[in-house]
Amino acid sequence: MTKLQGIPPPNGGKNRVIVIGAGMTGATCAHELAHAGFNVVVLDKGAVGNGSSTRSAACIRTQFGTRENVKAMRAAVGYFVDFPGIMGIPDIPSNRAIVQNGYLYPFWVTDLAAFQAAQELALRMHEWSHDTVEVLDKQQTISRFPHLNPERLLGSRFCGMDGFLNVSVILDETFRHCREEHQVVLRTGVEVTSFILKKHTVQGVETSQGRIEADLVVNCTNIWSPRLTQWLPRSNGGMPKVMPVKRYLYMLKVAGVNSDEFERWPMTVFPSGCYCRPDGGNLMIGWAHQAQVEQDFRDTDQDMIEEAFNPKTGGEHNYGQHAIFEASRHVPAIMEMGEPRVTCGYYGVTPDHQPFISYDEDYARLIHAIGFSGHGAMFSPVTGKFVAMLAQANETMRWAGIRGDVLGLKPFSLSRSFGAGEHMVI
C-alpha cells in the first residue's frame, strides 16, 4: 500500500497525530511532527522513558557498515551537538545532550583479520565522506589511550565525533519544548488497548481512559509493538516482529585512575564485543550475549536480574564476572575498581538489527518506528525526521533528504529482505 497512507499537509495544526510511546523515539517523533505543524498527542502506559531508553548504554556512533546509517548517524550527532540551541536552553555542560569522547575499536595480535576488516570499513566510510574515522597504529593508540593493555596491541579504529548521550536531559527538555512551544499533549499512565478501524484505515486508538480519534498514529512502542499490532488482523501471516531480548550493564566504582583522565575515556569496544565507557564516577561494562527472545515478558521483568548475570552471586558460569574479566584483560585498571552494580532492560531486536521506520503495509494512516536493536537513542533524531517526512508526504517514500544528504529508506522498510545487517554491539 503506497497511496493514501499519510494525512494531508498540516492545515493550521488541525490534523491530529497520536504517538504511542514516550521514550527517545517517541519524544523526537513528537517534536518533529509538532515542528511540522501537526497537533500531537503522546501516550504511554508508564512514565517517560518507560522502556529501553533509560536502561540502555546510550552510546552513539557514526561507524557503520552501510552508507545510509553512516549518513544518518552523522546527522544525528549534529542534532545532539546543536541540542541546547534547538531547545532554546543555555549551552552549558548540564544541558548538553552528547559527550563526544569518541568510539574506539582496539585490536590485538590475535585479532589480525578483524583489524584488517576494520581498516577496510574505514576506507569505505571515507568514500562516504566520513573522514573523521581514523586508523591508528600501535604507538598512536597507546599514546592517545594509555589505559589500554599495550602488550601485543596491533592498533585501533577511532572516531572522535562519537560518544554517549545524556538521555535524561534529552527526554526532559524535548518534552518541555514540545509542551511549551508546540502545545504537544503528553499523557502518561494511559494504555492503548486497541485501534479504531474503518476497514483497513486506522482512525485512532482505544485506551484505558477512553477513545482518542486521530488522522495518523505513530507506533513507537518498540518491545511492546507485537502486542499492539496483534489487534490488526492480517491475511498474510503478519508483519515482522520485534524481538525483546535482555541486556545487562555492570557499573564499577572508579578507583586507582586519575579522574580527569578517566572522564576522557572513549566508548571502547573490544574484539569480543565486550565494551566499557565512563558513566559519571562509574565505569559501565556490557557484553551482548545469545539471549532468548521473551515475547511474554512482564513490565516488571525489565529490571529483574537473573542469578546467572548477577556478579555478586558467584558461580562458575556467571556472565557478569566473565564480562568484567574480559574488559579487565584489555584495561588492567579495572582490576582495582570497586564492587559491581548491575542493571538490565530489554532491547527490541530485528533479524538484521536495522529498525522499521515505515508505513504499515496493510493498514493506512499507521507508521511504525520500532526495532532499533539497541540503537534507538542514537537513531532518534533521524527517526523523528523520517516520520515527519512520511506524515507530510501522504505516501510511502523511497528517499528522504536530511542535512544535505539524500538517504534511501528501503533499509528501514517492513517488506525488506533480511540479509546481511548491521553489527549490534550494545
- Taking only the tens of pLDDT, the chain with its 426 residues reads 333 444 444 444 469 999 999 999 999 999 999 999 999 999 999 999 999 999 999 999 999 998 888 999 999 999 999 999 999 999 999 999 999 999 999 999 999 999 999 999 999 999 999 999 999 999 999 999 999 999 999 999 999 999 999 999 999 999 999 999 999 999 999 999 999 999 999 999 999 999 999 999 999 999 999 999 999 998 777 788 899 999 999 999 999 899 999 999 999 999 999 999 999 999 999 998 889 999 999 999 999 999 999 988 866 678 999 999 999 999 999 999 989 999 999 999 999 999 999 999 999 999 999 999 889 999 999 999 999 999 998 778 888 888 778 888 888 898 888 865 555 555
With respect to residue 86, please indicate whether it lies within any of the assigned structural domains: no
CA 89/CA 92 separation, integer angstroms = 9
Contacts of 287 (CB under 8 A, 6+ apart): 272, 273, 274, 275, 319, 322, 323, 326, 327
Under DSSP, the state recorded for 311 is: G
Q: What DSSP string runs through 337-368?
A: S--EEEEEEEEEE-TTS--EEEE-SSSBTEEE
With respect to residue 127, please indicate whether it lies within any of the assigned structural domains: yes
Identify whether the C-beta of residue 244 lies closer than 8 Å to the C-beta of residue 346: yes
Shared domain for 190 and 223, answered yes or no, is yes
E strand spans, 116-240: 133-137, 153-159, 163-165, 185-188, 192-198, 201-207, 210-213, 216-219
Residue 263: name the closest of 240, 276, 280, 241 by CA. 280
pLDDT for position 406: 81
C-alpha distance from residue 24 to each of 165, 238, 260, 375, 403 (Å)? 11, 26, 30, 11, 20
Q: How many domains does the chain have?
A: 2
CA 73/CA 233 separation, integer angstroms = 35
Shared domain for 295 and 268, answered yes or no, is yes
Q: Residue 361 belongs to what domain range?
A: 16-58+167-240+351-412
CA 169/CA 147 separation, integer angstroms = 29
Shared domain for 139 and 36, answered yes or no, is no
Alpha-helical runs (H) found in 148-279: 167-182, 225-229, 259-263
Q: Which CATH number belongs to the domain containing residue 383 in this structure?
A: 3.50.50.60
Domain end position, chosen among 349, 375, 402: 349
Count CB neighbours of 419 within 10 A: 7
Using DSSP's 3-state secondary structure scheme, residue 115 falls into helix
Shared domain for 120 and 159, answered yes or no, is yes
With respect to residue 83, please indicate whether it lies within any of the assigned structural domains: no
Domain end position, chosen among 349, 382, 399: 349
Q: How are beta strands 16-20 and 39-44 bridged, if at all?
A: parallel
Compute the Cα dihedral for 326, 329, 333, 335 and give only its sign: positive
Identify whether the C-beta of residue 303 lies closer than 8 Å to the C-beta of residue 246: no
Shared domain for 256 and 333, answered yes or no, is yes
CA 46/CA 33 separation, integer angstroms = 22
With respect to residue 290, please indicate whether it lies within any of the assigned structural domains: yes
Shared domain for 274 and 366, answered yes or no, is no
With respect to residue 36, please indicate whether it lies within any of the assigned structural domains: yes
CA 349/CA 248 separation, integer angstroms = 15
Torsions phi, psi for 35 (to 5 deg): -60, -30
Shared domain for 147 and 263, answered yes or no, is yes
Shared domain for 265 and 400, answered yes or no, is no
With respect to residue 108, please indicate whether it lies within any of the assigned structural domains: yes
pLDDT for position 420: 54
Q: Which CATH number belongs to the domain containing residue 300 in this structure?
A: 3.30.9.10
Identify whether the C-beta of residue 287 lies closer than 8 Å to the C-beta of residue 347: no
Shared domain for 322 and 247, answered yes or no, is yes
CA 47/CA 118 separation, integer angstroms = 40
Domain end position, chosen among 298, 328, 349: 349
Shared domain for 127 and 176, answered yes or no, is no
| Burial annotation 38-65 (CB, 10 A radius, 16+ → b, else e) | bbbbbbbbbebbbbbbbbbbbbbbbbbe
With respect to residue 318, please indicate whether it lies within any of the assigned structural domains: yes
Identify whether the C-beta of residue 66 lies closer than 8 Å to the C-beta of residue 422: yes
Using DSSP's 3-state secondary structure scheme, residue 245 falls into strand
pTM above 0.85, yes or no: yes
Shared domain for 256 and 153, answered yes or no, is yes
With respect to residue 85, please indicate whether it lies within any of the assigned structural domains: no
Shared domain for 35 and 23, answered yes or no, is yes
